Amino acid sequence: MSGPETFELTLPEGRVLRYCLYGPVDGRPAVFHSGSPSSRWKRPSLVAGMARSKLRLLVYDRPGYGGSTRQPGRAVADAAADVRALADAYGWERFAVFGGSGGGPHALATAALLGERVTRCAVLSGIRPRESPADEAALRERQAESAAHILGQIEAGGPEVPWEPGTPARDDPAAMARIRATFTDSMDGWVDDSLAFARPWGFDAARIGVPVGVWRGTADPVVGPENAEWMLTSIPGARGHVYTGGHVPGTEVYEEIYDWLS
């Protein structure tokens, strides 16, 4: 079972980036930084929202996810170079960026380091820097346990994601393909994200000069309000948006974000 059509970009150093395109073909260019962990293949509810938007969204697998070549030791800031290469491949001189959860820091890095090309930057349920010692082996073990727990719930008849109950994921080949891409095929991207978050991010948030919107939920069990507060106090002119809900909002909030980015 395969997901939406996958495209590949081979970088000069030989690394490969895999990505999908969503939304209207004539939509305004935007780059989507997925959460940690996540892949370029999105759930039907997200794809439907993208299709209704005015954006042409390029959703790529960060190094180590999906079929994108791993980049050991990468920093959050390294995402900007990959985004530049992807945008150049399509001739996008100007584009918006959007990052959810663990994709938030990567969206901010893009806004900070490619400010002359980024029109707007939206962050949903994003995180703030918290430098701390991180051991790769220990991270990999903990994340493997988390993945096994999630897969166990799926095998027991659970939905693809708990906040979107419905048909058991085990009975949906497309859902299982997305789940395997996220939790089975490789843990490298998730591990490398976590290591990068624990080190200096490699850019100064105070130097971001593009409009930044920060969305957070009132009852987020994963990311506390102090994370959004850091962005609002560290990024000049950043504007906050609060919605009723948890870490992942309903479709109406995504549509609000897409409209703001347009």
Phi, psi of 9 (to 5 degrees): -125, 125
Q: Report residue 35 as tokens.
A: 């959460």
Q: What is the CA radius of gyration of the chain?
A: 17
Q: Report residue 144 as tokens.
A: 């493997």
Average pLDDT over residues 45-52: 95
* pLDDT of the residue at 1: 44
Longest dimension (CA), the chain: 49
pLDDT, one tens digit per residue, over 50-102 is 999 999 999 999 999 998 999 999 999 999 999 999 999 999 999 999 999 99
SS3 annotation, 125-170:
CCCCCCCCCCCHHHHHHHHHHHHHHHHHHHHCCCCCCCCCCCCCHH
Specify which residues 134 forms β-bridges with: none
Whether residue 164 is predicted with pLDDT greater than 90 in this model: the reply is no
Q: Provide the CATH topology of domain 7-131+201-261.
A: Rossmann fold (3.40.50)
Q: Report residue 160 as tokens.
A: 């693809």
| C-alpha span between 225 and 117 (Å, rounded) | 29
Whether residue 12 is predicted with pLDDT greater than 90 in this model: the reply is yes
Specify which residues 58 forms β-bridges with: 21, 31
pLDDT, one tens digit per residue, over 181-220 is 898 888 999 999 999 999 999 999 999 999 999 999 999 9
Whether residue 122 is predicted with pLDDT greater than 60 in this model: the reply is yes
Average pLDDT over residues 242-259: 96
3-state secondary structure of 15: coil
Q: Among 1-15, 25-39, 59-73, whose mean pLDDT is lowest? A: 1-15
Average pLDDT over residues 230-252: 97
Which residue shows structure tokens 């080949």?
173
Show me where the domains of the chain are located. 7-131+201-261
Pick the closest to residue 8 from 86, 95, 87, 64 (CA basis).
86
Annotate 100-132 with b (16+ C-beta within 10 A) or e (fewer): bbbbbbbbbbbbbbbeebbbbbbbbbbbbbeee
Residue 138: CB atoms within 10 Å: 10
Specify which residues 60 forms β-bridges with: 19
- Amino acid of residue 233: T
* pLDDT of the residue at 3: 65
How many residues appear in the chain?
262
* pLDDT of the residue at 2: 54
